[in-house]
């Protein structure tokens, strides 16, 4: 993906903020606890917080959370959904917090949008010594037969290279490193996977996949054709054709410590 395409994808979510808030899943608590277990203290930054999916999960554990989000529509939805949360405008490349002011920086389905040549030093700046950076991604468990079929039918715009467990491991192993060859700000990465799931219907799963960046930037006729293929597939499967079902997922975590 070239820079122009990257920017177009990363800026696509604001127009779908309400749908994102309604349909995107939360994060497995066990994954959040693992991400934070090496942090030296309770101060946590949710960076690229979107509509607050990870912020809400963090609110269920004993930490002090600040959310930072660059898109005004996403930030407004976060503030509406979580009025008690501290939520600030800002980005991974320009974090509106003082030096050494947090013990952990977490990013839920957001770290792949960061320019780590700029964001790496900025994240290291706000982290206390020994602080932790962790990216969390909710991925589809394509080891389940019907989920593998869904990924194939959906195409890469809806189920991309970080959206299944095996490909996630490859795609994120060096996510903490700047692509420019600049010095790394973090130690060797650890990766872990935690079972998760989301209650869906065929219609709500289609709506969930429609919030993926690749789908949001499609021309409308192409997007509707892709969604129609997904609807037809879900209608053909006994697991998904009638009523509610659990979508098999994992919350996958990349964790590194500040040098």
Integer angstrom CA distances of residue 52 from 88, 137, 208, 218, 254: 12, 14, 16, 25, 19
Whether pLDDT at 200 is above 60: yes
133-162 pLDDT, tens per residue?
999 999 999 999 999 999 999 999 999 989
Integer angstrom CA distances of residue 48 from 34, 71, 86, 128: 20, 9, 14, 19
pLDDT at 106: 98
pLDDT at 15: 60
**What Rg value do the Cα atoms of the chain yield, rounded?**
18
pLDDT at 49: 97
pLDDT, averaged across the chain: 93
């Amino acid at each position: 993906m070239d820079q122009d395409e990257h920017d177009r994808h990363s800026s696509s979510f604001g127009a779908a903020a309400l749908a994102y808030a309604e349909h995107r899943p939360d994060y497995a608590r066990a994954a959040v606890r693992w991400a934070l277990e090496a942090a030296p203290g309770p101060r946590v930054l949710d960076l690229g917080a979107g509509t607050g999916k990870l912020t809400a999960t963090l609110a269920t554990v004993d930490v002090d959370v600040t959310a930072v989000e660059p898109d005004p529509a996403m930030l407004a939805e976060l503030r509406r959904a979580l009025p008690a949360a501290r939520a600030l405008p800002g980005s991974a490349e320009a974090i509106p917090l003082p030096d050494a002011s947090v013990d952990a920086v977490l990013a839920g389905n957001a770290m792949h949008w960061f320019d780590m040549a700029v964001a790496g030093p900025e994240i290291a700046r706000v982290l206390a010594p020994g602080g932790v950076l962790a990216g969390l991604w909710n991925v589809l468990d394509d080891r389940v037969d019907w989920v593998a079929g869904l990924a194939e039918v959906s195409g890469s715009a809806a189920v991309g290279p970080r959206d299944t467990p095996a490909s996630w491991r490859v795609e994120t192993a060096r996510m903490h490193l700047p692509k420019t060859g600049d010095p790394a700000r973090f130690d060797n990465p650890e990766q872990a996977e935690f079972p998760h799931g989301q209650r869906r219907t065929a219609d709500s799963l289609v709506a969930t996949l429609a919030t993926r960046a690749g789908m949001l930037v499609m021309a409308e006729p192409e997007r509707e054709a892709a969604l129609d293929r997904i609807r037809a597939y879900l209608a053909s499967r006994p697991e998904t054709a009638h009523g509610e079902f659990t979508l098999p997922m994992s919350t996958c975590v990349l964790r590194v410590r500040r040098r």
